[in-house]
Structure 1
Amino acid sequence: MNRTLYSLLLTGGLLLGAAAPALAQDDLLNELEKETTDPQRREVVQATFKGTHIVNSQSIETPGKGTLAFLIQHRFGTLNSGAYEFFGLDQAELRLSFEYGLSNRLALGVGRTKLGKTFDGFVKYRALQQSTGAGAMPVSLSLLASAAIVTTKFATVPGVEGRDASSRLAYTYQALLARKFSPSLSIQLMPTLIHRNYVDTDAEQNDVYALGGAIRQKVSKRIALTADYFYVLPGHTADTYRNAAGLGVDIETGGHVFQLHFTNSQGLIESQFVPQTSGNIWDGDIYFGFTVARNFTVKSNLK
């Protein structure tokens, strides 16, 4: 009896010893599941747009803290330029720029565009971030302010006072308001003010107001369709120029995002494409281009 009792006690101990880790593991998994599914846990919505630019417009996104983004924006000539110009491929506008995240909310950027030999700089601040859970924020809001200066040489006319540096400046102010409705669909609105210190004719305005809209629809794990459009509010500029419109495809690859674009605007920065778009889409004034963005970690967040 003693040997039988000893065997029973030994077997029971082994079973309890094996069950204890399993129960502990189940408890841990239950806790993790509870944390990830807890509707009261506040989570910031990520990747409303995949890049800091959509087609013509900027998105609400900024590089992460300590991240340096290098962008190459290339835009060929119009498709209706004919075979002699290889349907626009013999002509091109180019912008090179750098964007740096001072924090996860604040970014600075500088760039240089071939059109007008223009230098520009901007600051973008993520004032609001869409979130879920307790105290959820339904939208994201980024504020953008930029300045651009044209450096092309102007012809001098005898007896006419030359243009000083301040007359070459233009400023952009935008509120970028966006919401990610699902993992596949994001929409952005962009109230915009362009101020130009100098305009050439009475057909233009120093202050141009516009309302922009953009959309991103993901169609696969690595591909998304994008579009943006800017409606210039009534005035001399709206009567003279056309609204900028663009359609694009985002392709995510290892380490960078490759964007293909079709648009009626040759300009690559807001002070160019919002008030100065002249292309008529229905006449074939469509520019093909692309943007390549590459991110580099300058300062790691890991301590």
Structure 2
Amino acid sequence: MLAAAGFLLLTFPALAQDDLLQQLSAAQDSARVPEPVAATFKGVRVSNGHSIETPGQGVLLFLISHRFGTLNSGAYNFFGLDQATIRLGLEYGLNDRLAVGIGRSSLEKTYDGFVKYRLLRQAPAHMPVSVTLLGTTALTTLRFGNERPFRTRLTYTYQALLARKFSPGLSLQLMPTLVHRNFVATERDDNDVLALGVAGRQKLSKRVALTLEYYYLLPGPTADDFRNSLAVGFDIETGGHVFQLHFTNSQGMIEKFFVTETRGNFFDGDIYFGFNVSRAFSVKRK
């Protein structure tokens, strides 16, 4: 009996120590916050439209977007290279979730601004998707024959961008979209246009990825009169920057144009070749 009691007394501290270590390990595991998934897309744009990505805190991004004319415009126009539309933009990360931006497009001499907020970030075993909210305003300054009130020159866009990085090489994004136009040409036209966008990115090599972007217009007068926006492109990573090449049936590079005013038939050769290139500047320490 004495021997058994002595054995129990000797083993109890060891068992208690094991118990304590297990409790500490469990507490550490529960306190450990999963790291969010990074680089779902390599740029703040997929092609024409936004991706879920934002500039980091204190980062100023200068973005140049360029579209030539259509490839089927013929040799006289050098297959579109004689014609060009351009947008210059600045985007700034107020913090790691919130960004603001402004831009100016040559098409209809349009100014635009936006606010972009990363609501949710994908994390393993914690959050299956990333969600970014986007609100934009576009102001057309083109001169018309009869001068229009200021408010009729404004267009607003609201988007929820939902994305998931399925693997290091594959990312997909869904973009429910509402475009509100203060002015439309006829009573038949929609002031409010609903569209559903889908986008994807598939890596082909260490530095090159294939991108696809498509916006489906929900049935209505706008869908009857215009076409769905389609873009196929390539992301090329060069020295920490991403150079994006695109082939698209949309001439404009903001939502007002490519969601609601796309006229080109991609499969008939109404294809605008273009690119996005950006340069990032750190203007504020984190």
Q: Equivalent residues in 2 for 1:128-143 (5 A)?
A: 128-133=120-125, 136-143=126-133
147, 151, 163: which is aligned to 2:141? 151
Deviations 1:58-102 (A, max 9, x none): 000000000011100000000000000000000000000000000
Query: Which structure has the larger Rg over C-alpha atoms?
Result: 1
Amino acid in structure 2 at the alignment position of 1:147: T
Q: Equivalent residues in 2 for 1:277-288 (5 A)?
A: 277-288=262-273
Q: What is the distance in 2 between the residues matched to 1:286 and 1:76?
A: 9
Q: What is the distance in 2 between the residues matched to 1:283 and 1:232?
A: 19
- Structure 2 unaligned regions, length at least 5: 1-24
Aligned to 1:21: none
Deviation at 1:41, TM superposition (A): 5.4
Q: What is the distance in 1 between the residues matched to 2:133 and 2:65?
A: 22
275, 279, 286: which is aligned to 1:290? 275
Q: What is the distance in 2 between the residues matched to 1:259 and 1:204?
A: 34
Local SS of the residue matching 2:79: helix
Q: What is the distance in 2 between the residues matched to 1:274 and 1:232?
A: 8
Contact 1:203 1:237 in 2 (8 A): no
Local SS of the residue matching 1:77: strand
Are 1:96 and 2:88 matched, yes or no? Answer: yes
Q: What is the distance in 2 between the residues matched to 1:282 and 1:42?
A: 45
Aligned to 1:65: 57
Amino acid in structure 1 at the alignment position of 2:95: S
User: What do you get for the CA RMSD once the two structures are aligned?
Assistant: 1.4
Q: Equivalent residues in 2 for 1:1-303 (5 A)?
A: 42-133=34-125, 136-156=126-146, 162-301=147-286
Local SS of the residue matching 1:44: coil
- Structure 1 unaligned regions, length at least 5: 1-33, 157-161
Percent identity between the two aligned chains: 64
Give the TM-score normalised by the residue count of structure 2.
0.88
Deviations 1:84-138 (A, max 9, x none): 00000000000000000000000000000000100000000000000014xx100
Q: What is the distance in 2 between the residues matched to 1:283 and 1:41?
A: 51
Contact 1:203 1:240 in 2 (8 A): no
Amino acid in structure 1 at the alignment position of 2:167: S
